[in-house]
A and B are shown apart, each in its own frame.
Chain A
Amino acid sequence: MTDWIDIGTLADIPQRGARTLQLPGEKEIAVFRTSDDHVFALVNECPHKKGPLSQGIVHGHAVACPLHNWTIALRTGEAQGNDEGCTPTIAVKRDGDRILIARPDALKAAA
């Protein structure tokens, strides 16, 4: 059983952009919306030097990190091309217009 957290609607996130989310005791999460309205959630840290991915340019299903321009795949969190590293991803589901993300384990224990 997965717990889900309702974080808002599609319209809350700019197309080809991202918003951030801070859950108590958790790392900041970046929630991305692509040009075709897919939504992805990742820990808001580049695997390179922790750049805030939420601030990067979103193209296709990838984001270019704002600090040193690594390209990170949104679905897997993996760095593309010759770069190596992976950012943790968080499951997202849609319920109509609403967006839900999987509740992190630490929060579950606390609840």
Chain B
Amino acid sequence: MEVQVRDESRADGGDDILVPFEDVREHLVVVGNGMAGCRAVEELLARDAGRYRVTIFGAEPYVNYNRIMLSPVLAGEKAFDDIVINDAAWYADNGIELIAGDPVTAIDRAAKTVTSKGGRAIGYDKLLIATGSDPFIIPVPGKDLPGVISFRDMKDVDTMLAAADAGGDAVVIGGGLLGLEAAHGLTLRGMKVTVIHLMDTLMERQLDEAAGWLLKTALEARGQTILTGANTAEIYGEGKVEGVRLKDGRDIPASLVVMAVGIRPSTALAKEAGLDVARGIKVDDHMVTSDPDVLAVGECVEHDGNVYGLVAPLWDMCRSLADGLTDQHSGYRGSVTSTKLKVAGLDVFSAGDFSGGDGCEDIVLRDASRGVYKRVVVKDDRIVGAVLYGDTADGGWYFDLLRKGEDIADMRDLLIFGQAFAAGGGALDPKAAVAALSDDAEICGCNGVSKGQVVACIAAGNGSLDAVRGSCKASASCGQCTGLVENLLALTLGDDVASGPKTMCKCTSFTHDDVRREIVAQDMRSIPEVMQKLHWMTPDGCSSCRPALNYYLLCALPGDYQDDQQSRFVNERMHANIQKDGTYSVVPRMWGGLTNPRELRAIADVVEKYDAPMVKVTGGQRLDIFGIKKEDLPAVWADLNAAGMVSGHAYGKSLRTVKTCVGSEWCRFGTQDSTGLGVKIERMTWGSWMPHKFKIAASGCPRNCAEATIKDFGVVCVDSGYELHVGGNGGIHVRATDLLCKVATEQEALDYCAAFIQLYREEARYLERTAPWIERVGVEYIKQRIVEDDAGREALRARFLHSQSFSQDDPWAERAAGQHAELHQHLQPIAIAAE
């Protein structure tokens, strides 16, 4: 048998090589001239160069090149020739036949032959499938338009370079590693790039929310537009791509669309040949498929349930494969992967399972000024995962500790500071480590405070963290060095350290007031931003800080802040009160306690139509419909809306009810129109979010039938005007109101009310009702702000009304119209699969 082989690679025209006629060695045919296929051959040659006669088929018309380096080629840092791994001479020197540019189209396992597109049929003794992966193309209209490409091979890079030369806008779909690399390269080549990412966090497989947010911020600073939580509806264009339309209707013009939404193991060939294929081609520890003469390696395989998408595990596979082919059975045992990457020039690292979970503890360090985030996940005194952003120097060390399963109990407290610190000097006790620092060692980087200065400050009588912060400013800014300062306090004072004010929750060392102040001072705009800048010690907070942060941001940025539904307590997410049996109660607003036949009829209809087991008059002067199933809520709301009723917010940390009495319209004692005033107040204040629930009442005379003196804001009408009362509540600790002042006109009563609410909204701590708030700050302070400072009161009132202009949308109407339908409907299983 004589075979003529041509190398059709671009790098070299390829002289024909004649394979000796009498070559009787076993014939190894490799399908796939990529990273794994060629590496496997290299490993084989290193072990036993003469053993097999080797033929490699490659679909791409090139010699073997380094796929990873396509990003630098796109970015203009390297040329194709720089990224070639094995040039034509390597194939020639090793007697390897390369058939490049001619993909294999079929395998006949019975006859032991492969057939190529170009019509070649070649027999094999051993076949190695190394076909890599196929880019996943999302099935949207327009996906086949010219100008829509993926990012996988040299051809794609050529297309991108040509597009960039023509200039214009590009859209990259997919905010994973590949997408961001493509976006970076295209930006450097002068295109205006928008990245569309389905998830809320970039690179969510490698990075947690916090690191993803940092990455997004950095890329935006470079001029890219990053749209997260964005779903592509279609790609449009006449004859070629002209833009992308999102499901929410946004339209982004583009002359190039790069789809980088993921890869799928390339298994079609193997599947058609009848090999065992699940997600990838199934292989054993020696990379042998279900057919003993067919092996597979690289991204196309599935080993022990895992498929890989990075090169490091492929190298391990190639070693085991070559061992097996040369009868030295080592066996592949799977790989723990770490990702240490420069994404668009920014350092990121992740390894192992950083998702946390049972028994896992997070050690988090955030350095806002340097843009650093580090998180090490520890379980049973062993590292199980790590995410690093900005400073990845210790990634290798963490990964090493992880892989070896080393016990880190002894250096736990210093682990997060990295190898130099934790392993240095044998000082494993954090106090000892701090004691060992020299006097001029810097403790607080933000304020440039040395250890000596902190110790002197403590010695001068500042015996608590807060006192130290107030005096020498150590730990007063970013808080990262809080642990160090606390250790210095303990070292200097022994056990007499005074405990500071209560922190917001266990996720942070800051108090509610600190957090609020910093949100405004640093103009923070999202929960992840607050967590990064204020050094949260957990990756995504807890059920007490998330709702508080959401409220603080909402209050600071009316109209701008995008509410985080998942940071809200169930009632505020479902816009109804959850009951002990998991059903909901529904309370429509009845302005000032007034109602009419139309509303009553609609409520009666709802009770019957949805089989509500109970309807009750509440203590807040309206009707409560009980026992509504979450699936029925949108329909119930639609019916109530149709009769003109809106949400009563009986569920919210928000304005609840405005109770009224009959007043001067009917009552023989009434001095003013308390009912009318109550309605006006409720129209002005409904829909506003507050630190806690907020109740108002207006009584027509000092008999006070509306119980105005146990409300957060109460009006008692008198002949000469309106007495305004604040800070009352019922409940367990009944507190009667303090008299704020007396005003002459209804308009003033409304204005003071708005100003008071805004002061409460801006200054009370989350979940602090007006009563405890006023006891804390003193009623004199409230009087000074609301009564004595006319300009200040006017400004507060204006801020409240501004904020209200964004919040008076009925949340029920939105849901009834179909928004967030998923919250009300069960998942629908689509198929029952057996395995």
Task: Report which A residues bind B (CB closer than 8 A).
Answer: 1-8, 11-17, 19-23, 31, 34-38, 44, 49-52, 55-61, 64, 66-67, 69, 71, 73-76, 78, 95-96, 100, 103, 111
Does the CB pair B827–A7 fall under 8 Å?
yes
Does the CB pair B569–A19 fall under 8 Å?
no
Tell yes or no: B822 within 8 A of A by CB: yes
Nearest-Cβ distance from residue B826 to partner chain A, whole angstroms: 5
Does the CB pair B565–A14 fall under 8 Å?
yes
Does the CB pair B566–A15 fall under 8 Å?
yes
Does the CB pair B546–A57 fall under 8 Å?
yes
Given known contacts A66-B570, A66-B578, is B827 in contact with A31 (CB within 8 Å)? Answer: yes
Does the CB pair A15–B200 fall under 8 Å?
yes
- What are 5 A-B pairs at a CB distance below 8 A? A14-B566, A15-B566, A19-B822, A57-B547, A60-B538
Give A57 to B571 CA distance when docked, in angstroms: 11
Does the CB pair A22–B826 fall under 8 Å?
yes
Does the CB pair A52–B200 fall under 8 Å?
no
Nearest-Cβ distance from residue A39 to partner chain B, whole angstroms: 11
Nearest-Cβ distance from residue B133 to partner chain A, whole angstroms: 13
User: Which residue of the partner chain A has the closest CB to B360?
Assistant: A61
Contact residues in A for B264 (Cβ distance below 8 Å): 96
B residues 780-835 in Cβ contact with A at 8 Å: 822-823, 826-835
Give A61 to B385 CA distance when docked, in angstroms: 14
Contact residues in B for A100 (Cβ distance below 8 Å): 833
Contact residues in A for B322 (Cβ distance below 8 Å): none
Give A76 to B358 CA distance when docked, in angstroms: 7
B residues 326-376 in Cβ contact with A at 8 Å: 354-358, 360, 362
Contact residues in A for B570 (Cβ distance below 8 Å): 55-57, 66
Does the CB pair B828–A8 fall under 8 Å?
yes
Contact residues in A for B827 (Cβ distance below 8 Å): 7-8, 12-13, 19-21, 31
Does the CB pair A59–B543 fall under 8 Å?
yes
Those 5 A-B pairs whose CB atoms lie nearest each other, nearest first: A64-B543, A16-B566, A61-B357, A66-B570, A55-B570
Contact residues in B for A8 (Cβ distance below 8 Å): 827-830
Give A66 to B651 CA distance when docked, in angstroms: 13
Taking residues whose C-beta sits less than 8 angstroms from the other chain, chain B's interface range is 35 or more
Q: When each residue 532-544 of chain B gets 1 if its CB lies under 8 Å from chain A and 0 otherwise, what string results?
A: 0000001111110
Does the CB pair B204–A61 fall under 8 Å?
no
Does the CB pair A6–B540 fall under 8 Å?
no
User: Which residue of the partner chain B has the closest CB to A4?
Assistant: B833
Nearest-Cβ distance from residue B139 to partner chain A, whole angstroms: 12
Given known contacts A52-B582, A55-B574, A57-B547, is B355 in contact with A73 (CB within 8 Å)? Answer: no
Select one of A21, A52, A59, A96 contacting B578, CB under 8 A. Answer: A52
B residues 512-556 in Cβ contact with A at 8 Å: 538-543, 546-547
User: Which residue of the partner chain B has the closest CB to A97?
Assistant: B262
Does the CB pair A57–B567 fall under 8 Å?
yes
Does the CB pair B355–A38 fall under 8 Å?
yes
Given A14-B566, A17-B565, A49-B580, 8 additional A-B pairs, CB 8 A: A4-B834, A6-B833, A11-B231, A14-B565, A21-B829, A52-B578, A59-B538, A76-B358
Q: Is chain A's interface secondary structure helix, strand, loop, or mixed overall? A: loop
Does the CB pair B834–A34 fall under 8 Å?
no
Nearest-Cβ distance from residue A103 to partner chain B, whole angstroms: 7
Contact residues in A for B568 (Cβ distance below 8 Å): 57
Select one of A4, A11, A37, A60 contacting B835, CB under 8 A. Answer: A4
Does the CB pair A37–B834 fall under 8 Å?
no
Nearest-Cβ distance from residue B742 to partner chain A, whole angstroms: 42
Contact residues in A for B231 (Cβ distance below 8 Å): 11
Select one of A55, A78, A103 contacting B832, CB under 8 A. Answer: A103
Tell yes or no: B8 within 8 A of A by CB: no
Nearest-Cβ distance from residue B363 to partner chain A, whole angstroms: 14
Give A17 to B357 CA distance when docked, in angstroms: 16
Of the candidates A3, A38, A60, the one having the most CB atoms from chain B within 10 angstroms of its own CB is A60
Give A75 to B359 CA distance when docked, in angstroms: 10
Does the CB pair A61–B356 fall under 8 Å?
yes
Given known contacts A21-B827, A55-B574, A75-B357, is B835 in contact with A2 (CB within 8 Å)? Answer: yes
Of the candidates A6, A13, A57, A69, the one having the most CB atoms from chain B within 10 angstroms of its own CB is A57
Tell yes or no: B606 within 8 A of A by CB: no
Tell yes or no: B279 within 8 A of A by CB: yes
Nearest-Cβ distance from residue A90 to partner chain B, whole angstroms: 12
Contact residues in A for B354 (Cβ distance below 8 Å): 36
Contact residues in A for B738 (Cβ distance below 8 Å): none
Contact residues in B for A17 (Cβ distance below 8 Å): 565-566
Does the CB pair A6–B204 fall under 8 Å?
no
Give A16 to B833 CA distance when docked, in angstroms: 27
Select one of A11, A59, A103, A111 contacting B540, CB under 8 A. Answer: A59
B residues 680-695 in Cβ contact with A at 8 Å: none
Contact residues in B for A57 (Cβ distance below 8 Å): 543, 546-547, 566-570
Contact residues in B for A14 (Cβ distance below 8 Å): 565-566, 822-823
Contact residues in A for B204 (Cβ distance below 8 Å): 36-37
User: Which residue of the partner chain B has the closest CB to A60?
Assistant: B356
Give A50 to B567 CA distance when docked, in angstroms: 22
Q: When each residue 188-222 of chain B gets 1 if its CB lies under 8 Å from chain A and 0 otherwise, what string results?
A: 00000000001111001100110000000000000
Contact residues in B for A56 (Cβ distance below 8 Å): 543, 570
User: Which residue of the partner chain A has the closest CB to B564?
Assistant: A16
Select one of B199, B209, B569, B830 contacting A6, CB under 8 A. Answer: B830
Contact residues in A for B208 (Cβ distance below 8 Å): 35-36
Give A60 to B208 CA distance when docked, in angstroms: 10
Give A111 to B204 CA distance when docked, in angstroms: 38
Nearest-Cβ distance from residue A34 to partner chain B, whole angstroms: 7
Give A34 to B360 CA distance when docked, in angstroms: 15
Contact residues in A for B539 (Cβ distance below 8 Å): 35, 60
Contact residues in A for B578 (Cβ distance below 8 Å): 52, 55, 66-67
Give A67 to B577 CA distance when docked, in angstroms: 10
Nearest-Cβ distance from residue A30 to partner chain B, whole angstroms: 10
Does the CB pair A5–B829 fall under 8 Å?
yes
Does the CB pair B279–A59 fall under 8 Å?
no
Q: When each residue 562-599 of chain B gets 1 if its CB lies under 8 Å from chain A and 0 otherwise, what string results?
A: 00011111110110001011100000000000000000
Contact residues in A for B279 (Cβ distance below 8 Å): 95-96
Give A6 to B538 CA distance when docked, in angstroms: 33
Contact residues in B for A2 (Cβ distance below 8 Å): 835
Give A60 to B759 CA distance when docked, in angstroms: 34
Does the CB pair A16–B582 fall under 8 Å?
no
B residues 485-516 in Cβ contact with A at 8 Å: none
Contact residues in A for B200 (Cβ distance below 8 Å): 15
B residues 159-211 in Cβ contact with A at 8 Å: 198-201, 204-205, 208-209
Nearest-Cβ distance from residue B695 to partner chain A, whole angstroms: 23
Nearest-Cβ distance from residue B180 to partner chain A, whole angstroms: 17
Does the CB pair A59–B834 fall under 8 Å?
no
Give A52 to B573 CA distance when docked, in angstroms: 14
